[in-house]
A and B are shown apart, each in its own frame.
Chain A
Amino acid sequence: MSDMRTEYSKTLIELGRVNQNIVVLGADTTDSLKTAAFGKEFPNRFFNVGIAEGNLVSVSAGLAASGKISFASTYAIFLPGRAVDQIRNGIAYPSPPGKKGLDVKLVVSHGGLSVGPDGGSHQQIEDIAIMRAIPNFRVFIPADTIAVSKLVLLMANEYGPFYMRMARSKTPIVHSESQEFQIGKGITLRDGSDCTIAACGITVRMALEAAEELQQEGISCRVLDMFSVKPIDGDLLEKAARETGGIVTCEEHNIFGGLGSAVAESVSERYPVLVKRIGVQDMFGESARDNEIQLLLEKHGITSFNMIKQVKEIRSKKL
């Protein structure tokens, strides 16, 4: 198990050493996000603007408009959830000639239900929908620390606005060190011919577990890590639809507007097959202590068990 925020911080510092234009901003959560370490090494390129998320976003935009690459971070609930106007009108909309949006990377932690004890008020289950709806933004949901590190480097090298959502809890490694990450390209983690599970973030591991169990029952299940929720990999999804005949999606996000919606939108236009979306059923989360997060996810059906169930249901309707 490894910690996404630690990896984020480490990668930022490595980046900061080779790229003088990297600036890092926080809003009184720099200890938690672990970006404070960047500030120790590069005090003149690190800004803590206090508990003022709108300010955080707009200051980041100003720096980016002056040639800097801004990484602004806090908890998911306080960025898309609070500062959507500043994000839309301050980062996504302003487009210098020949460019789209400003060069700001919003990297958040504490996405989804797995935030746990802080409760429903702090469990951001709408961010993917919000950020997908804003033009010029690209949305990443890494499954492990390897993805975090590679996506941070990718974002730094690619001009424009990005949103990346990390999980609060430590996550197991699902990718190999040599795995390549490209914008708009999903990753096939396991091949299969009977059905597909498309997942992102912490649900990728669950999908792999589900596929393993299905294998025991003789069902060959493909597993896709759709870390790039926007742009979504339409080619990979179409291929999965053609070759496996059905897709189950799973995410710790409201059922509306997240990965499931993105997959369904893409597949329905290119090669319609049954798509079953696992996610929060249009309701809010609640507190769960660290050792109870599994229970909270189970309540909302965000489990490998439910994935298996949905795969079987798709197969029964297919037949």
Chain B
Amino acid sequence: MGLNYYHIKKNILRARKLVIKSTSVAGSGHPGGSFSMAEILGCLFYKHLKFDPSNPSWENRDRLVLSKGHASPGLFSNMAVAGYFPESELDTLRKFGSRLQGHPDLKCPGVEFCGGSLGTGLSYSIGVALAAKIDNKDHHVYTIIGDGESDEGQIWEAAMTASKYKLDNLTAFLDRNFIQQDSYTEQVMPLDEELVGDDISEMWKDASRWKTGDKWRSFGWNVLEIDGHRIEQISAAIEKANTTKGVPTIIICRTIKGNAVEHMEDNPQWHGKAPDLDIVPLINLELDSQFMIAPSIIAGDMTNLANEVKRCINGRADYIHLDVMDGQFVPAKTFDHNKIKELRSITPIPFDSHLMISEPVKHVRDYAEAGSDIITVHAEVCDESSFGEIHDLLKQHQVSVGLAINPETDLPEWSYKFLPTLDQLIVMSVVPGKSGQKYIPETHKKMSSLSPILKEHNFIGYVEADGGVTLENVGSCFEDGARAFVGGSSMIGQNNVREAIREFRHEILRARRKVLLEKAHQLGGSDLVNKWIGLHVVGKKKEKITKIAKETGLI
């Protein structure tokens, strides 16, 4: 089974938007902690959790206990996306008479635990897990605790108890976002080490300072430490936890409070505050503008692709683009599914397999089974029937579905019906089959003519820019609507891949900030521009955004 990468990602995006909508309408709530655990909930709800929204009290369901109950907007939003109740009900958050209370409540069917008073959910989960053991049930208990919450002594009472009873049917997630209500955790009550300066990123950079895992290990838990915003890491950790016997598992997820909205990120102010209504459209646009970077390893050393994969991982790529060429559809030949299978064993990082092959319908199953997470086939070698077959097969395998078009190809009309469920669209900006080509400038025009078609047919997937993408043109690709960026020689061809990816991110971020500034100006003139800039209080963001605003004449 694939990771279901884009499916999870799209639902997380929907849930994040609902968090913003509901808290802003309610005028209060906790978006920061909802966003730090967004990917954790996404992986649970859209991949691992067993549940039935039409029968919330189904006996064999997995139990999800949100111990850090103040992040209820995150829970409720995902429950709505998962089908427990209509998304419109989120508008009643915290409202008199609503099932959606300020903190999770059994009033809302599907909620497992009345959270709010911190420190108690892990003990409660132990009770739930013990009951499952008594009854010989094999459902699993997943509990999300906070790092601020870990100040509570009862967390450690529970840590001892779960260990004593060998509760391997209990998995805890620590949403390690480094922020609690007053300030940074390492200033209020250090869980790792006391923070000396004001820069929380100091804690991120130096793994030798992370002590939290050791604490849990010493309590007898199986400890997994991951990046809590990376779907593949969360998913792999859950799988590992579920197969670990005789001990409970805690997955320590290093996260960013307010993740995905720049002005909220790492900002203690957003622990328990709702965004102003006039900022909401900007936040939504920002959420729609999340982007991913995917180096193409064939631009590296073809004789040691495993090493290229490792370089991408170390370089913090979002996923890896695998160009499969068969020597027929394109003149060149690279590798096939056997290579992908071999590379799969190295890492859980998502594999974005771009099949530049003839008759993909005949081979696509091999690529799914080899461990691809996204598979893109070319429109030139498909028709409605064969693509339909590919589409359904990939969805069954929890593999995201992509369609690619060559520079001279228009998006075929038969593909329109697939657009609502299509996960990825690659608009090639070079002729595939040869590396080292230059970006074809006409692609910009093509993108702008495609954009209304995609909108009209409810495409909510990601456009991937592929071919000749460089630091010089990546910003304009973003402005065209691309959200995934394949880097060839400009990325993997560099000695320092990490630095190259960082520079790409920087350029895209710059383009995104510009787009957001323009939107702010369009919605509320320089007042809104200034207000939005003013929200960016952490680090040097404000200066950087102000500079862009001045350059573009918006202030």
Contact surface of A with B, Cβ cutoff 8 Å: 23, 44-45, 47, 49-50, 52, 54-55, 57-68, 70, 85-86, 89-90, 93-97
Number of CB contacts from chain A to chain B under 8 A: 103
CB pair B134 A55 closer than 8 Å: no
Name the contact of A60 in the complex, choosing from B107, B127, B154, B157 (C-beta under 8 A).
B127
Q: How far is the CB of A264 from chain B (nearest CB, A)?
A: 32
Complex CA distance for A50 and B162, rounded to whole angstroms: 12
A-B residue pairs, 9 tightest by C-beta = A62-B127, A58-B123, A66-B131, A52-B157, A55-B157, A94-B114, A63-B127, A62-B124, A59-B127
Q: How far is the CB of A20 from chain B (nearest CB, A)?
A: 8
Complex CA distance for A85 and B121, rounded to whole angstroms: 13
> Hey, which chain B residues are within 8 Å of A65, CB to CB?
112-113, 124, 127-128
CB pair A23 B134 closer than 8 Å: yes
Residues facing A in B126-172 (CB within 8 A) are 126-135, 153-154, 157-158, 160-161, 165
CB pair A66 B160 closer than 8 Å: no
CB pair A44 B134 closer than 8 Å: yes
> Hey, which chain A residues are within 8 Å of B119, CB to CB?
54
The answer to whether A67 and B131 touch (CB under 8 A), given A55-B123, A94-B114, is: yes
Q: Secondary structure of the B side of the interface?
A: helix
CB pair B127 A50 closer than 8 Å: no
Size of the B side of the interface (Cβ < 8 Å), in residues, is: 32
> Hey, which chain A residues are within 8 Å of B112, CB to CB?
65
> Hey, which chain A residues are within 8 Å of B109, CB to CB?
97
> Hey, which chain A residues are within 8 Å of B72, CB to CB?
none
Complex CA distance for A104 and B113, rounded to whole angstroms: 15
CB pair A86 B120 closer than 8 Å: yes
Complex CA distance for A59 and B121, rounded to whole angstroms: 9
Instruction: Give 26 pairs: A residue, B residue, CB < 8 Å, sorted on A.
Output: A23-B131, A23-B134, A50-B160, A52-B154, A52-B160, A54-B154, A54-B157, A58-B120, A58-B121, A58-B123, A58-B126, A58-B154, A59-B161, A61-B127, A62-B123, A62-B126, A63-B127, A63-B128, A65-B112, A65-B113, A65-B124, A68-B134, A85-B117, A85-B120, A94-B105, A96-B106
The answer to whether A50 and B157 touch (CB under 8 A), given A90-B120, A97-B106, is: yes
> Hey, which chain B residues are within 8 Å of A63, CB to CB?
127-128, 130-131
CB pair A62 B125 closer than 8 Å: yes
> Hey, which chain B residues are within 8 Å of A90, CB to CB?
114, 117, 120, 124
- Among B130, B158, B160, residue most surrounded by chain A Cβ atoms (within 10 Å): B130
Complex CA distance for A97 and B56, rounded to whole angstroms: 11
Complex CA distance for A70 and B158, rounded to whole angstroms: 18
> Hey, which chain A residues are within 8 Å of B124, CB to CB?
58-59, 61-62, 65, 90
> Hey, which chain A residues are within 8 Å of B117, CB to CB?
85-86, 89-90
Nearest-neighbor residue (CB-CB) of A62 within chain B: B127
Q: How far is the CB of A80 from chain B (nearest CB, A)?
A: 16
Q: How far is the CB of A61 from chain B (nearest CB, A)?
A: 5
Q: How far is the CB of A210 from chain B (nearest CB, A)?
A: 44
> Hey, which chain A residues are within 8 Å of B190, CB to CB?
none
Q: How far is the CB of A43 from chain B (nearest CB, A)?
A: 11
CB pair A62 B130 closer than 8 Å: yes
Complex CA distance for A57 and B455, rounded to whole angstroms: 53
The answer to whether A50 and B161 touch (CB under 8 A), given A58-B123, A85-B117, is: yes
CB pair A47 B131 closer than 8 Å: no
Q: How far is the CB of B29 from chain A (nearest CB, A)?
A: 19
Nearest-neighbor residue (CB-CB) of B139 within chain A: A66
Name the contact of A45 in the complex, choosing from B126, B134, B153, B158 (C-beta under 8 A).
B134
> Hey, which chain A residues are within 8 Å of B131, CB to CB?
23, 62-63, 66-68
> Hey, which chain A residues are within 8 Å of B125, CB to CB?
62
- Among A45, A66, A86, residue most surrounded by chain B Cβ atoms (within 10 Å): A66
The answer to whether A59 and B123 touch (CB under 8 A), given A49-B157, A50-B157, A65-B128, is: yes
CB pair A59 B126 closer than 8 Å: yes
Q: Is B116 an interface residue (CB 8 A)?
A: yes
> Hey, which chain A residues are within 8 Å of B132, CB to CB?
66
CB pair B134 A94 closer than 8 Å: no
Nearest-neighbor residue (CB-CB) of A61 within chain B: B124
Nearest-neighbor residue (CB-CB) of A94 within chain B: B114
CB pair A55 B106 closer than 8 Å: no
Other CB < 8 Å A-B pairs besides A58-B121, A62-B130, A94-B106, 15 of them?
A: A23-B131, A44-B133, A44-B134, A49-B157, A49-B161, A57-B123, A58-B124, A59-B161, A62-B131, A65-B112, A68-B134, A70-B127, A86-B120, A86-B123, A97-B107
